[in-house]
Amino acid sequence: MTGNRAYTPADRLLLQADAALRTLLPFSGQPHRASPAVLENEQPLDAASTQHVAGLMRINHTGEVCAQALYQGQALTAKLPEVRAAMEHAAEEEIDHLAWCEQRIRELGSRPSLLNPLFYGLSFGVGALAGLVSDKVSLGFVAATEDQVVKHLDEHLQQIPAEDHKSRAILQQMKSDEQQHATTALEAGGLNFPAPVKFGMSLLAKVMTKSTYRI
Task: Give the residue numbers of the binding site for Fe cation.
Answer: 64, 94, 97, 146, 178, 181
Total residues belonging to the chain: 215
Q: Which of 116, 95, 89, 100 is nearest to 181 (CA)?
A: 89
Cα–Cα dist 69/123, whole Å: 5
Long-range pairs of 157-165 with CB within 8 A, sequence gap ≥ 24? 159/52, 159/56, 160/53, 160/56, 161/45, 161/49, 161/53, 163/43, 163/44, 163/45, 164/43, 164/45, 164/49, 164/53, 165/37, 165/40, 165/41, 165/43
Cα–Cα dist 89/128, whole Å: 16
Question: 150 Cβ partners below 8 Å, 6+ apart?
Answer: 175, 178, 179, 182
Cβ atoms 210, 58 nearer than 8 A: no
